[in-house]
A and B are shown apart, each in its own frame.
Chain A
Amino acid sequence: MRRYSAFAIAREAARYHSGWGKAWSSPEPKKKYDVIIVGAGGHGLATAFYLGRNFGITNVAVIEKGWLGGGNTGRNTTIIRSNYLQDPSAAIYEKSRSLYETMSQDLNYNVMFSPRGVMMLAQTQAEVRGYLRTAQANALQGVSTRFIQPAEVKKLVPIINLDGPRYPVLGALWQDRAGTARHDAVAWGYARACSDMGMDIIQQCEVTAVRREGGRVVGVDTTKGAIDCDKLGIVVAGNSGVMAERAGFRLPIESVALQALVSEPIKPCMDVVVMANTVHGYMSQSDKGEMVIGGGADGFNNYTQRGSFHHIEETVRALVETFPMVSRLKMLRQWGGIVDMTGDRSPILSKTPVEGVFINGGWGTGGFKATPGSGWAMAELMAKGHSPLTDEFSMWRFKEGKFIDESVAAGVAH
């Protein structure tokens, strides 16, 4: 792999950009790998990357039924934060946020991490109390957040309307080290680094069955033939339930569509991320100038990556109330992704009833921010059979009543 650098740009500029080469190779699958990861999204590729980087396991294939980074990795609103309430969540999300800080250097790929700050508005007294509690919890967890007053909110976000008639802004939970990153670049950067370590990224190849012998995984059947493996990692977000069924077990997960939209590009007007969970709208401005807007989730199981119009109406109504200047903005695109929801709105990183099969899913509406931390923890779990970051996220925690209850703390918008 040739390194990307300022020198490389100058070199290629001098020869009509003819020497860049492919960022990753697309080989045919081998007969056998030590580890197969199903799903070449951010989390799957990050898992493969840290298997190689931290544990020297490079005989790895990442198998993807569609195209690399084409699922939720390319469909989220790119928000990165770690202001969670519960200790296990704070640990893995903060690990993740800190890995984002050095990701561009680690991968030699510009992921455009922008620690611009994330603000979660408190618009009811209950929310004020909730965020004060979160700020205290974060202080104990070593996550830098603080509760700010309306005057400071207005200073950071001049376009905000503090005196909404129904839900005035009473304060906000502010994390100044949080921010956004270019979501495609995260997947591409990991893919390039994995390919460079000799791993095979196999796209357009669906895993149709998981072969087992005596309760142990021995390989997978795919649309490109059978492939053997010692260990299998399932990292397929919305399709977790479908893949689990093919591996012969059930997951406490339900899949629903979550949607987002972007406006036409406008001049810079807001340089932080604002989330308003009570009225349910969240917004940031991309480097191109588009306002990136997160919408609601459908209230019923579905696998259609599209969403529905009335959710857009609700979201946009909330945003017009909060940011009156967006009322005449035209929307450019709208899309949906399938999110895998667990009962306590926390992820599952776990061994499974099938020996050698590991599951990383259930990230629900907030997986992008966790990409590097999730990969880091999943790699440790797969390599060593145990990771301090994943202990609490077992798929059996529901049976034991050991929920990591984040649905109250973070609302719908993770």
Chain B
Amino acid sequence: MKHFPLYRYELSKLFHQRFAKISIMLALILTIVSAVYSTGFIYELLHPSIISDTYYQLPRCKSKIFYNYSEVYSDAYFAKVQAEQTRLNEEKLNFTEETAKQKGKYGLTKDMDAVLFSDLYSQCIYMQNCTQTRLEITQSAQSIIESETDAYLLQRAKLAEASYRKPLYLETFYDDGLAGYVENYFFFGRKSCTLHIAVLLICFLCAGIFSAEHENGIFSMLYTTKKGRSRLFWAKYFASATVVVVAVLSVQLIGFLTYAIRYYGIYGFDSSLQLLDLQMTDLSLCPFSLSNLQFLLICSGMQLLFFLLLLAVALLASVVFQKTVVAFLGSALFGIGSAELFYYCKNNAGAGLLQTLENMQLMLPSALLFPECYFSQMNTVRIGEYAVYRIYILLSICFLLLVLLSMAAYLAYTKALSRMLRKRRRER
């Protein structure tokens, strides 16, 4: 900080204004209320008095599952099921109705299904068929090379087996895609208004970072100083990026503390991601070897990337329009609108424009807000001979967008481009 005095001043300008302090406090209070409300909402939704099926109950269900795992899913039980599996295979018979009931009763995850009841597990059969016939595994009719598929299947099976021996605190349950510990990283999700709070807070704090200088008449004084262009721009940029990082991580931390820890404790983060069972996103098919903690951190990072993109939009609007209100509205529209568009396309894509939008993934930046989609299956695109995971493409495009938007804001602020063009014109 001592070596970056301009950055320090810019941070101080961002945080020391009365309206900034009030808005930060308000946002934090709203976030806590929202987090507690969401928790209450889901708890109520899944309360035993409402739902009779014990499989879906929270949080009591959690301890029950753990208990079941430690008591019933012992090695002996595992061996017993495997023996039954072998016997059935030998006799070319299906599982008995009794076994199927047991499966439901004990709430097995899909990965356990894959290990214990692989012949019955439709997706696994589908994948095996794909391997045999060298067909695609993705949902969107794109093929993937065979060796990768084999490696994937092997890896998944190993992961599932390995994870099976770990506590299941982190297993999640769902109702309409929202429940369980995943709510922590899923916290910016549709039913929680924390997304909108975070977007509005960031836009509110950062939209005026350049335009306010024009509005209060200090711009020309800043602009005529030695460091008033390039260095000042980057000082402002990094100060506002700091605000974004702090705001996003605070919201996520609040979500984590009010939801995950409260219900699921602090154990089990090292269990396999493939055991994290969501209805809308089947992580059991995730091709990456990740623990829950790694998954959580990656998702948080991806959400942070979205908010940095939002910041870049806000800064560009602030530089170009020189009006705080316009910059605020523009960036808030981008932040909230793109998330809503993403959901709308996802839920309503049937045909026409919405289908096109979804297929083309035009709402790429907002996809960062819901990163679990990209972990759900072997979602690949073939580029030449190589099958490339869509998540890599998404991240590449979003990083590129971030760089482009930031550079556009920089060039607009320093007028470097127009000066260069003018110089060339004169030379000609």
Physical interaction between A and B: no
